[in-house]
Structure 1
Amino acid sequence: MTSRFSFIFKRLLTLIPLVLGILLITTFLLDLTPGDPARLVAGPRASAQDVAQIRVKMGLDRPFFVRYVDYVINVFQGNFGTSFKTGQDVGQQIANQLPITLSIALGAIALALIVAVPLAILSARKVDKLPDQIVRVLCVLGIGLPSFWIAVMLITYVALPTKWFPVAGIGTTFDAHVRSVLLPIITVAIGVMPPMVRSLRATLLEVNGADYVIAAKTLGFSGMKLTRSFVLRNAVGPLVTVTAAQAGFALFGTTVVEVAFSLPGIGQGLVTAASARDFPLVQGYTFVFAIMVVVLYLIADIVAAAIDPRVRIQS
């Protein structure tokens, strides 16, 4: 128990330099912008005086280190600034949009796991046979098909003909919300599921050749009982890591899906803010996306350590 808490504490400590590094990159976004950010915000017809005022408002008249320290202090106080275009608080705007993105990403990961685990087990048990070949082909197709194309196909051949699913907006009731996010969830799940299937299949095949599995077979264990008791529980560790990686891809995949289905999540917000050159919003979205990915990997490390004590020992 002590080693487990020590492992978690050390992982939490690593978040401090990671968060500071993310904030450093986020602050540096202004300096990476081609041309004069103040001129881009003001527009080509703005006077030099207007551009100078915007430059002061954006903090570009101060040294980079001063801007970075101020931004760090503000973020830890929950202040992400104010949108240039809407005048709204950036943190509040992100908080309003975040549940939509999380519902799509987490729903996609849950759906992908529900489908991936049985497919991987079937593929590993029927290796090189017809079921295994079908699963492997489906994985290749899932990796190769662009998310935007899948979204368009679902809208064209499912949403519009059946009229069960909205093709834009999120809805105001719980039922409408579920129907609004179901097709986006399926779209993202199709993209993140193949690596899960392939990873779990490879691990299952490796574990099947382990000495303890061979010993269990000699004792009479076979079929799903052997898979559940000896194979699957020792093969889920790598799946946790792959799932965390795919969860990160799912978060960024929601950007494309939210645009395709016109959903007001943070992915759609990031695209809109970038096109409008709303730098405080872009910085806020970038920081939130990065933090969510870091937290996902932290959770994956903790879950992997809980499943397999060897992870804590090696760490």
Structure 2
Amino acid sequence: MQVVLRRILQLIFVLVGICVVTFLLVHLVPGDPARVIAGDRANPETIEAIRKSFGLDQPLWQQFVTYAGNLLSGDIGQSMRYKRPVTALIGQYIWPTLFLTGYVICLAVPPALALAIASARKPGGLADQIIRIVGIAGMAIPVFWLGIMMSRFFGVALGWFPVSGYGKTFFEHLHHLFLPALSTAIWMVPVLIQSLRAALIEKAGADFVTAARAQGAGEREIFWRTILPNAVLPTLNLFGVIIAFLIGGTIIVETVYAVPGLGSLMINALLARDYHVVQGLTLMFAVTTVGVTFVVDLLSALIDPRARL
């Protein structure tokens, strides 16, 4: 219980800090959202009326007090561009992002697990060297460049997959999001392989493995019942961070493939100086990251008592 309370207090301080920093950074960005909304030909009276309607004419500290008070009441603001609550916009745009995140995980985890096991079975062997070299190359390729190349080749040149959109049915979602999911999974697989491979090699030399061999257990049984379960914990911690990154870091891939998700919403909000949407999305990404990390910490404490310290 003390561990849970300590984690919760840490999360609260982190979220408060993120709210303050995000508010300041958003308001320090050059440009007037009222002028963006009104247009280049708007007269000063119209621009000033828009500023007053959104409270932008108030001092910065007073705007923050209003923002913090609204947050405590569960209101994260209304979009200046769409004239809709930010929560409604997030609810509309979050589904393509969640689908894409799950798609990436389904494409990345099985090959990462298989290749990590193959690599760790004989460290330094031919298979291990090939997997590590290919993995380093996969991490070195920028996701946006890979996305553009795959879109041009498989989408434009061959016409096998759509290069934009999300589709309407489940199978259309799978078809439309295959390229963005694959380009992201190509980066994710090597990261998981490196983490799990290192953990497998470390656990293979542990004392409890030696004790299991002394008791007459077979190598296959030792690997699947002893080494692999104990090696999952370090990768679980990394996996939690990756999931949070996928939910909050899809801006690049969603922009390349014109996926109507949270990444696209964030880009449009930044271009339109839509403060409330940017702040709301940043807060949601932060809560997601902190929440996933919190759950992973709890799972780690349940799996390994040493993680409770």
Instruction: With the length of structure 2 as denominator, give the TM-score of the two structures.
Output: 0.90
Matched, 1:105 2:107: no
Query: How do 1:218-229 and structure 2 match up within 5 A?
Result: 218-229=214-225
1:305 corresponds, among 288, 295, 301, to 301
- Could you tell me which residue of structure 2 aligns to residue 276 of structure 1? 272
- Could you tell me which residue of structure 2 aligns to residue 183 of structure 1? 179
Q: CA deviation at 1:176?
A: 0.8
Structure 1: which amino acid aligns with 2:287?
A: I
- Could you tell me which residue of structure 2 aligns to residue 195 of structure 1? 191
Greater Cα shift, 111-120 or 53-62: 53-62
Mapped contact 2:155–2:162 kept (Cα < 8 A): yes
- Could you tell me which residue of structure 2 aligns to residue 232 of structure 1? 228
Matched, 1:8 2:13: no
Matched, 1:217 2:213: yes
User: d(CA) in 1 for partners of 2:169 and 2:270?
Assistant: 30
Greater Cα shift, 200-209 or 75-84: 75-84
Percent sequence identity over aligned pairs:
37
Mapped contact 2:199–2:231 kept (Cα < 8 A): yes
Mapped contact 1:192–1:249 kept (Cα < 8 A): no
Give the secondary structure class of the aligned counterpart of 1:87: coil
Greater Cα shift, 109-118 or 126-135: 109-118
User: d(CA) in 1 for partners of 2:8 and 2:102?
Assistant: 22
Query: How do 1:1-315 and structure 2 match up within 5 A?
Result: 5-34=1-30, 38-39=34-35, 42-43=38-39, 45-160=41-156, 163-312=159-308, 314=309
Structure 2: which amino acid aligns with 1:189?
A: A
User: d(CA) in 2 for partners of 1:176 and 1:106?
Assistant: 15
Q: CA deviation at 1:42?
A: 4.6
Residues 252 and 81 of structure 1, relative CA distance in 2, 3 Å threshold: closer
Greater Cα shift, 203-212 or 156-165: 156-165
Greater Cα shift, 227-236 or 76-85: 76-85
Greater Cα shift, 95-104 or 252-261: 252-261
Q: Deviations over 1:165-214 (max 9, x none)?
A: 32211111121122222222222111122222111111111111111112
User: d(CA) in 2 for partners of 1:52 and 1:222?
Assistant: 78
User: d(CA) in 2 for partners of 1:96 and 1:82?
Assistant: 14
Q: Deviations over 1:282-310 (max 9, x none)?
A: 22222222221111211211121121111
Between Structure 1 and Structure 2, how many residues are aligned? 309
Structure 1 gaps, min length 5: none
Mapped contact 2:163–2:176 kept (Cα < 8 A): yes
User: d(CA) in 2 for partners of 1:85 and 1:39?
Assistant: 11
Give the secondary structure class of the aligned counterpart of 1:235: helix
Give the secondary structure class of the aligned counterpart of 2:216: coil
User: d(CA) in 1 for partners of 2:161 and 2:200?
Assistant: 37
Greater Cα shift, 147-156 or 127-136: 147-156
Structure 2 gaps, min length 5: none
Give the secondary structure class of the aligned counterpart of 1:84: coil
Mapped contact 2:33–2:274 kept (Cα < 8 A): no
Residues 149 and 36 of structure 1, relative CA distance in 2, 3 Å threshold: closer
